[in-house]
Amino acid sequence: MFSTFGKNVFLAVVEDITTDLDLLHPDELLLGERFNSTKRCEDFFRGRIAARRALSVAGCQASFPLLIGESGEPLWPETIAGSISHSSAVAVAAVASKCHMPLLGIDLQTIITIERAVKLLGRIASDSERAWVNADPVNVGLRSTAIFSLKEAAYKMLFPGVTEEEHLRFSDIEIHFEGEHPRFARLERTLAARAEDCYLEGFLSRGAVFPVNLEQRDSLLLSAMWIDNVRVTLAR
């Protein structure tokens, strides 16, 4: 369905949970059952099944549970970078070895209507991002969703790498486009890296740019953002 990253990143998509519930760790089943809504529980299970499938394709046989961190983040094994997203009864998970890709984030969104887009843009987009959206009046919903989704992917990517005091704002990430495609995301404010990830500091300075990708399947848009291995290997 989606193929958003290149080699070294393993992506899994899950729609039907009924056949694969037995992939889940008992602690993950317990966590899911604690949610108040059935939808949230199913989303959680779909996401964890996708994560387990992606880990398995990556050669990581996860006998441990993927628990939930204090801010809702999935707690991946030490050597793994990963991200989970769900929308419209579809979940996607992406994982990579941290030595190839120390940070990655994905976000799956259902494309919004023009009416919702207008409200959303005022909250999340810069002047130049708004100009890119308005340059294609037929696709205002699609382009607004793209900006929102890429910024959500940025949030998920950056969260594990920055200190707890950092609160990322939509204005901290600027998406740059070429024609109809996103080219890269640029950090508009210097962020403090966590002590254990201090080699990331150079990548979290104002002006740092990150590769991005967008993929559309019917009414779903998958965004991805990552810090790649080559630049990090040079910095280590």
Q: Give the CA count within 13 Å in the CB-facing half-sphere of 69.
A: 11
**Which residues lie closer than 8 Å to 215 by C-beta, 6 or more apart?**
2, 3, 4, 221, 222, 224
- Pick one of 125, 146, 173, 225: the residue that binds ligand COA (CB under 6 A): 173
- Pick one of 20, 56, 120, 170: the residue that binds ligand COA (CB under 6 A): 170
Q: In terms of CB distance, is 152 or 228 closer to ligand COA?
A: 152
**Which residues lie closer than 8 Å to 209 by C-beta, 6 or more apart?**
184, 185, 186, 187
Q: In terms of CB distance, is 70 or 178 closer to ligand COA?
A: 70
Which tokens belong to 210? 């990150």
Which of these, 63, 67, 79, 2, lies nearest to 31 by C-alpha position? 67
Which element (helix H / strand E) includes 109?
strand 103-110
Least Cβ distance, residue 125 to ligand COA (angstroms): 11
* Residue indicated by tokens 């419209």: 88
Least Cβ distance, residue 95 to ligand COA (angstroms): 12
Build a one-symbol-per-residue string for 83-122: x at contacts with ligand COA by CB under 6 A, - elsewhere. Answer: -xxx--------------------xx--------------
- Pick one of 129, 152, 174, 228: the residue that binds ligand COA (CB under 6 A): 152
Q: Which residues bind ligand COA (CB under 6 A)?
A: 43-44, 47, 71-74, 84-86, 107-108, 151-152, 154-156, 159, 168-170, 172-173
